[in-house]
Amino acid sequence: MKILTIIGARPQFIKAATVSREVARRRSLGDNIQEILLHTGQHFDKNMSDIFFEELKIPKPDINLGINSSSHGKMTGEMLSKIEEVLQEKKIDVVLVYGDTNSTLAGALAASKLGIPVAHVEAGLRSFNLAMPEEINRALTDRISTYLFTPSKTASNNLRKEGYPLILTKDKKQEIIECGDVMYDASEFYKPIYQDMALDNKLKVDSGRFIFCTLHRQENTDNYHRLKSIINALNVFSEEMKIVFPIHPRTNKIIKTHSDIKLSKNIEVIEPLGYLETQSLIIKSAGVLTDSGGLQKEAYFHKKKCVTVRDETEWTELSEIGVNSVVGAKTEKILEALKIHVDFSKVSKTVYGNGDSAEKIIDSLMAHLGE
């Protein structure tokens, strides 16, 4: 079985590494399985991409398309064309895509148009906001995928409510496989490394006495009023507790264009971090404030409360069990949520599986496509 894995955004590197390790393990046991790793180039800044390959010891991609156009349409179109060329050249049995990026959709479209099965990891996620490009990408990818690997019961139920699994052809039907979350696999795999990492001496914070913050989504950074309101909340709360803010280059650039939006001196602004440093700081923090999908889960993995500055989330389970407050961008609501205490002794530990999702993914693909 030959797999073409398509990645383009930073979190996808980590997700793919989890499954790639399982592929390598199966090969070492004699299974007839091969993976080709294709990087679309969607995230191309060295500090924001190569760092993941270096620190996580992920093999460099076999193919790098180098596509990073700013326009969604142009980017997706270029990816679709180039991926199609690769698929026509290689004899691929299944295309494996992750999440909800333009790379995800382009890979799924290219494969489906050539009659190649698509396996979608993180299928079934829904924020129920089609104004988000990610929601469009994930819904369309689910529609044309053969294998729908869901991270949770909620995601599986979302698909069933929409009528999935669907009939693709007269002799082929989709399959929903609830495998758990590959990011939980990654968290458990790398834990021996990051859990004992010391705080950087340059950070003027004490363990357990700071909030870990990230902010990068366009709905926040490109909306002056939302951005100002969020930064105001950070500034106010930083009088009570320090905030560590690894700032995205684009976010930093936008903040500097507004003369009336300033970050307090109590906020430790640092360069973007790698995966391991991020996990280490989450563990040592008092909680997380973010607009990232991945960090909502990682806070939960490490038993930290999360405040999400979005109007909705695709990871709805975390709100339902009370560990993630989705509060939007109003200063008052953010400050209220930051003061909430979460008792993790009463929280389920198995929302996203048992850390064996990669094994389940490869088991399923081998059962259907392996020789």
Specify which residues 267 forms β-bridges with: 243
3-state secondary structure the chain: CEEEEEECCHHHHHHHHHHHHHHHHHHHCCCCCEEEEEECCCCCCHHHCHHHHHHCCCCCCCEECCCCCCCHHHHHHHHHHHHHHHHHHCCCCEEEEECCCHHHHHHHHHHHHCCCCEEEECCCCCCCCCCCHHHHHHHHHHHHCCEEEECCHHHHHHHHHCCCCCEEECCEECEEEECCCHHHHHHHHHHHHHCCCCCCCCCCCCCCCEEEECCCCHHHHCCHHHHHHHHHHHHHHCCCCEEEEECCHHHHHHHHHCCCCCCCCCEEEECCCCHHHHHHHHHHCCEEEECCHHHHHHHHHCCCCEEECCCCCCCHHHHHCCCEEECCCCHHHHHHHHCCCCCHHHCCCCCCCCCCHHHHHHHHHHHHHCC
CB 117 within 8 A of CB 161: no
Which among 39, 72, 120, 216 is annotated as catalytic?
216
CB 309 within 8 A of CB 231: no
Residue type, 267: I
Q: Say which residue the tokens 């500097």 belong to.
A: 256
Gyration radius of the chain over CA positions: 20
Distance CA 333, CA 10 (A): 30
Is 248 marked active-site?
Answer: no
**Residues known to be catalytic:** 216
